[in-house]
Amino acid sequence: MSKPAIALAVFSSVTILTVWQYTEFLNGIAKIVCLALFFIFGIIPLTFKYSYTFQRSMLFLPFVRWPRNVDFDKPEKLGLHGARNFYVTSSKGIRLGAWHILPQSMVKESESTSIPKEEFFEQALSRGQPVVLYMHGNSGSRAGLHRVELYHVLQKLDYHIIAFDYRSYGDSSSVAPSENGVVDDGVCMYNWTKQRTGKAPLFVWGHSLGTGISAHVLAQLTRLQMDVRSEDGQQMYIPKALVLESPFNNLRDEIQDHPLAQFFTWMPWFSAFFLDPVKQNGLVFETDVHVKSIPIPIIILHAEDDAVVPYKLGRKLYHTAVLSRSPADPPVMFAKFDGSHGFGHKYICRSPELPSIVSKFFSDSLKLGNASEGSTPFNHQ
């Protein structure tokens, strides 16, 4: 941070405090306003800059637990039939809570089979129906109501869904999150799922912050696949395709364009107080960098009226991916959802068009591997 910026920040804070303390003509309301301005434009920027804990909390929001009092052992209470709760412990000792939701065609069988529930569910993963590994965004848990709505959509398309909570979320281990930490959690759940799917196609779906996590996970898996085998001797495979719902291109741009940041972007020291510190602490989520090295089909889903992750960041990510990926790589698609529908940041799952978009994208992704012609089955948007 430059000396002029420091001086300006100190001068502004001192001025506000001086006015509040020494001006006898100010009434109670004016004093409250001065104190609020000092807190917003003094305390918050300083705390954010110098407290990694505060940065991490504001990014991941693990303390926001909604809905409350979730019984994760009983997903049926949220209307999820043909689902089970289970836990996976990573090599680093992190316990991750997860749900496995069966395809619609298997629900009745799961309720009448004599096979133990855990055994039936794990065997079902390798029967051939597509499997979607879902990585959610910040706050809440895998029980978030908009997430449950999406599970219903995917279940009706006859897909398996594996939904899990990163460290510090839901009923997973209460360990402070970091980018590398949640990416490790994503790799752990991917490996667990892949080891059980056999030849069944596996897809990854990330939403919001989960798009940054999933892209980082797959970039890491791609690098591992180049070595053919992982450290534990298991062969590594990347999924058939990646869905990025309501994504940002990188965390720096997302912070700068977030609605709450507009209170501070006019400040000359905005970058020094808000953007540079997160990068210094390894919180970057550079999806635009990671998509360059993921050699699978990608589709971006974004609503024009998204007020949390601006639509323009999804378009920016799309253009970066199209221009930066090798011509030999599978295509990157973009599906726009008109702002008049009111889907916003969370409810693309309510679009009547989503099932056909997803099923066609998954189907084309599977055909791509067997295509012998020069053209692909995809149509760019």
Q: Which residues are marked as active site? A: 208, 306, 345
β-bridge mates for residue 88, sequence order: 96
Could you count the other beta carbons within 10 Å of the beta carbon of residue 111? 10
What is the phi/psi pair of residue 245, to 5°? -100, 125
Residue 195, SS3 per DSSP: helix
β-bridge mates for residue 99, sequence order: 85, 163
Task: Give the largest Cα separation in the chain, rounded.
Answer: 82
Q: E-assigned strands of the chain?
A: 83-89, 95-101, 131-135, 160-164, 202-207, 241-245, 298-303, 332-337
Residues, the chain: 381
Q: Look at the block and give the residue holding tokens 């916003």.
A: 344
**H or E element in which residue 185 lies:** helix 179-197
Instruction: Kindly list the strands in the beta sheet with 95-101, ordered across the sheet, starting from the edge strand earlier in the chain.
Output: 83-89, 95-101, 160-164, 131-135, 202-207, 241-245, 298-303, 332-337
144 HSE (CA, 13 A, CB side): 24
